[in-house]
Structure 1
């Protein structure tokens, strides 16, 4: 604490309230910045913190100081706050003191973490009331501790059924909470290849039971039985669970995660072009539409690194190589689909669980509203990204020779002969089938026959399908207030406790004796006796 010796419109100076303490500060008014600037300051206190102890015998002062810092920057770390308190007040605090102060300050600013769990049943009711047709399920264990919460809004599921390809990416991200919950997510792609969240679940830990439960809820929330292609990290090991819950599903390994794991497992020696060429060869192998193209990419990998080639050969190609994959095409998505959730959670990581779920709902609502407004201005028949790809393919059709075999079958000659089947939307180059957009050979046929190019594009890429995807809105749930109503609901009798927090493993190494091992007997080199050594020998030699 300090005492101001001078405090007027132009100057301010102060000293520590403890007699004889060396702490000093002098500041003066700076007209250019319209603020006081510190001119001189002695940071060190020589009073040993006696001024703070005498003025603040309780922790309230510390909590109030931390609250001020958290209001300015919510993501302050304990070490940063401890350093700022030492700098500003000359008081040195340990990590535990600051951490406890942060927890108390955040509870005063944002509400109780524990009470937020108890409010979950009422909050879930409010979400469903505001969004009829949504699927929300909360589960606790026998001790009433939180286990799982599943949320799928009607607007998301309806948009998926109306306008999205039958393709879902499964992933996880940490909620970065004191209770270490995990967010499980199911995300689709809209017709513009933008991420479209379908469902999410907060679970107490990531394990096989929680993944199976999440997939069960996902199946219950879906109204149709169309075959869906699921994509997930191979390391998660959830392929078996997907086939147990969705019998007619297809399963692919996430290209993003495969590439990341591939890079981690790259070990020398490297030959030829070296290590830098391996990721692009791996992507080429995944996107190959013919087996000979896949084998060619494998050979390129093998020439650079035999170990990298062996690693690739361990992965079942039917779950990641376009040439043999049976489900919906997805290999063009090589970025992290779950990154949006990670960024959203990063903004609200310190908030209690209800505010985290509400923040996710707000982000989904904003995403739907912004894409509704964006797509209302489009004048093209396809979404912008697909229209661009089609325009890039069109010039390649110039100069190709087209021969008529029938009204629906055509031969197109370039460096080779390709057969285009207009009825089946197929070409022997396999490009049409892989992308859902006509290849240059099909475009050459349409140019000769006067057909409308856009009529032969996948319906999922039409601008109208995109608008159907975002045709429903997510509504705001009314605020939960105990004093706002005296009406009793079913959720009032439910009490939910936070999940058990797992302590992180200790950083200290503890030596333990191994059972069943015998110690080497000690012998004396002087008297040749057993059970002692030369330094403790009592024989008078």
Structure 2
């Protein structure tokens, strides 16, 4: 994506939420102003190509040192082989192609193509002026549009969707994640005694997991009820000891 596409995408953001006709009118006015302002800048520019592209070409010109082109005898003077005794590339000027693929991808001539152009003493075309040579003609407003006999198109009924409104776009597959946002990771929850998942103390059947020791009777605990004053309580044990001590005490003798 070049700078022109990035600038265009940035400017149309404010028109994206508008109706279709208002959106197109806003884009048209932006393009008209953009082309008019660029034409004013061109009056004081003497070059034949864009200034930034000119810097790239000047850099590629310095890299042509050591490359020797060889014409292969075609009638159009467009087929060349360029080599530096180590690497060899094929250049086709009429098709604007080079086997290094830099010219195909960026549209800017690489050092191999520049060496071929210098060999045949060919001049590049002035395409910078042709970029803004066309104009966009103005259009009348809605009050002068022709009226048709068809039914008026009404907008669809706006219904609010269920759930929370979406505010963020979907990330691309090759887009890096934001390092400042903590990713939500769901950990596996297991029961501590058996180490298995999807159950707790009530539903655990006592299956032994690897490295876990489980009692023979499982994880179920016996529900024993303690009754006040019953057997096994502290009070009942104290009463039993008192009775045994009184029964074992020596009885007084009669004289």
TM-score w.r.t. length of structure 2: 0.47
Q: If you compute each CA radius of gyration, which structure gives the higher value, 1 or 2?
A: 2
Bigger share in helix:
1
Structure whose residues are more often strand by fraction: 1
Larger relative contact order (C-alpha < 8 A, sep ≥ 6)? 1
Give the TM-score normalised by the residue count of structure 1: 0.25
